[in-house]
Amino acid sequence: MKQIRKNARRVLFCLCGLFFLLVAYGAYSITTSGGRWFSSSLNTFARKQRDNVIAGDLTDRNGVVLASTDAEGKRTYHQDAQVRTACVHITGDRNGNVTKSMDRVQAAYLYGFNMSFPERLSYMFAGIPRKGDNVQLTVDSHLAAYAASIFPKDKSGAVVVMNYKTGEVLTEQSFPNFDPQGTASALAKKPYTNRAIDGLNAPGSTFKIVTAASAVANLGDYATRTFHCDGLLQLGNRTVTDAGTNLEENKITQHGELNLLRAFQVSCNNTFARIALTLGDQKLRRTAEDFGFNDNFLFRDLIVENSSYPTVNRTDGEIAWTGAGQSALQVSPLHMCLVASAVANRGVMMEPRMLLRAASQGGSVREKFSAKVYRKPLTESQAGVLKEYMRAVVTGGTGTAAQIPGVKVCGKTGSAELDRQEDTNAWFVGFLDEEKSPYALAVVVEDAGGGGAVAAPIARQLFQWLLSNGYGG
C-alpha cells in the first residue's frame, strides 16, 4: 500500500509539473508570438471577443486614423481612397481577407483582451459596449500613398521601408492592392496575399550580399583574389550565364578578370557561382542562416513567412546558382530589407516592428515601442566592407539609377528568373548611408525586367521622398 501511495504521489507531481510547464509555455507563446494566436481563424475565443467589443482605432505614426469603427459596429477606413487602398495590407479589410494585417495581429489591444477587470466593470455599470485600445503604428500613410502612386500599375510586387537602427517599419506594401471598402465585384482579382511578408521568391542577385559576406568571412585573400569570367560555367546539365547572354544567338556576356568588389559591382553570376563552389555549401548555408534563412520568424508585430536556403539536391550546379541568387532559394522582400539593414547598421539586424503605442480609451499606455536586436550576422568590419561594395553598385555599377546627388545611397540590384514568367522579377535592396536618415528598403516588381532599370528608379524616388518629408534629419 505504501508503494502504491508513493507511486501515486510521483504521478501527481509529474502531472503538476507538466501542467505548470504547459502554462509557462502558453504564457511564453502569447508573449513572443501572440499575434499569430490572435490572428488565427481557428481562434474561436478571439472571434467571440470581436463580436462583443468595439474595436479601437488604428493610426499611423503621425496620428492619421487608418481604421476605426462606426456606430453600427462596422470597420471603416481612411476617407481618402488612395490612402486606404495603399494601406490595405497594413490595416486589413472589412471581410478579413488580409489575414496578417494589423487589425488581426494587434487584436489583443484593438479588441480589449488586455483590459483590466476594473475597466470591464466600468463599462458594465455604464451600460455601454466595451471599446478596445487604440493602436498607433510605426507606418507613414503618406509614404504608403506615394509608394503606391509610383509603383507600376499593371504589375505585382512589394515595397518595404524601415529604419535600420530601430527596426521601425515605415511601410510594407503589396501590389496589386484593393479598396478595403470596395464591393465584391471590385475584388474579383482577390489580391489578398501580402507579398511584402508572404511573397517568397528567388532573391536573384540581391543574395550576392550574403555570398559576398560569406567570402569576406571565410576567404582570407578575398580582397586580393581575382576571378576570370568567360561568360559560361558548365556544371553537369546546368550552365551559369550572365545577364545579356543569349546562347541561341551565340551572344555571351563576359567580364574577364575581376576582383570581388568589381564582381559585386557588375553583378557577375559566374564569379559568384565560383565563389559558392570555393566556399562549399556548408559555409554558404551557415552564412545565410546567420542572416535568418531557415529560421522560424517569431517577430512581435509581424507574421512573416520563413525564408529558406535549400538543403536537398545540392549538386555543384545548384550550389553555383545559389551563390548567384537562384536555385531553390526562397525569401520575402521584408527579409531582404533586413539583410540590407544589417549591412547598414554595422552588422546588427534589428527586429522589424510596427507597434508604436497601444493605449486604452482613457489614455493609459499598455505598450510602447521598444527596439530589439534580432541577430548579428556580421562583424562591424565585415559590414563596412559590404557597405563599400553596395556603395560601388550605385556609384558605378548596376544600380546607378538609384543615385541621388550629394547623398550616399548604397544598394544591390537583382533580376530573378522564375518559371512560367515572361520576364524576370526586378529587385533593389539598399539604404541611405546617412547618420540622420537611417532608412533601408526593398523594392520588388514581378515579371518586369532588370532590377537596375525597373526597381532602382523606384528606390531613388522613395529615398528622395524620405529626405524631403521630415526623414532627412
pLDDT, one tens digit for every residue, the chain (473 residues): 666 666 666 766 666 666 555 544 444 444 445 555 455 554 555 555 566 788 999 999 999 999 999 988 899 999 999 999 999 999 999 888 999 999 999 999 999 988 876 777 677 667 677 889 999 999 999 999 999 999 999 999 999 999 999 999 999 999 999 999 876 555 656 799 999 999 999 999 999 999 999 999 999 999 999 999 998 888 988 889 888 887 777 788 889 899 999 999 999 999 999 999 999 999 999 999 999 999 999 999 999 999 999 999 899 999 999 999 999 999 999 999 999 999 999 999 999 999 999 999 989 999 999 999 999 999 999 999 999 999 999 999 999 999 999 999 999 999 998 776 788 999 999 999 999 999 999 999 999 999 999 999 999 999 999 999 999 87
Amino acid in the structure at residue 466: L
Residues 23 and 26: their CA atoms lie apart, in Å, by: 5
pLDDT of residue 28: 43
Residues 19 and 35: their CA atoms lie apart, in Å, by: 24
> CB burial class (10 A; 0-12, 13-18, 19+) of residue 296?
exposed
Residues 309 and 329: their CA atoms lie apart, in Å, by: 5
Residue 428 three-state SS:
strand
Closest CA to 58 of 50, 49, 67, 71: 67
H/E run at residue 23: helix 2-39
Half-sphere exposure of 167 (CA within 13 A, CB side): 21
CB 145 within 8 A of CB 86: yes
3-state helix, strand, coil in the chain (%, to 5): 40, 20, 40
Q: Across 117-265, where does the E strand assignment appear?
A: 130-131, 134-137, 157-163, 169-175, 226-229, 233-235, 238-240, 256-259
Residue 373 three-state SS:
strand
H/E run at residue 264: helix 260-266
Q: Across 395-436, where does the E strand assignment appear?
A: 409-416, 425-432
pLDDT of residue 187: 62
Q: Which residues contact 277 (CB under 8 A, 6 or more apart)?
A: 316, 319, 320, 323
Q: CA angle, 58 as apex, 57 and 61 as ends, to 5°? A: 130
The residue assigned the cell 487589425 is 103
Query: Buried b / exposed e across 66-76, counting CB within 10 Å, b at 16+?
Result: bbbbeeeeebe
Largest separation between any pair of C-alpha atoms in the chain: 90
pLDDT of residue 27: 42
pTM, to two decimals:
0.89
User: What are the cell numbers at 40?
Assistant: 488565427
User: What are the cell numbers at 152?
Assistant: 507600376
204-353+374-468 folds as: Beta-lactamase (3.40.710)
Amino acid in the structure at residue 278: T
Q: CA angle, 67 as apex, 64 and 70 as ends, to 5°? A: 115
Task: Kindly list the distances between the CA atom of residue 327 and the CA atoms of 206, 311, 317, 320, 323, in Å, as whole numbers in the listed order.
Answer: 14, 11, 9, 8, 9
CB 138 within 8 A of CB 355: yes
Rounded to the nearest angstrom, the gap between the alpha carbon of residue 87 and the centroid of all alpha carbons in its chain is 16
pLDDT of residue 8: 64
Half-sphere exposure of 333 (CA within 13 A, CB side): 33
pLDDT of residue 242: 87
Q: CA angle, 290 as apex, 379 and 27 as ends, to 5°? A: 115
CB 456 within 8 A of CB 463: no
Residues 66 and 88: their CA atoms lie apart, in Å, by: 9
DSSP alpha helices (H): ranges in 326-379? Answer: 333-344
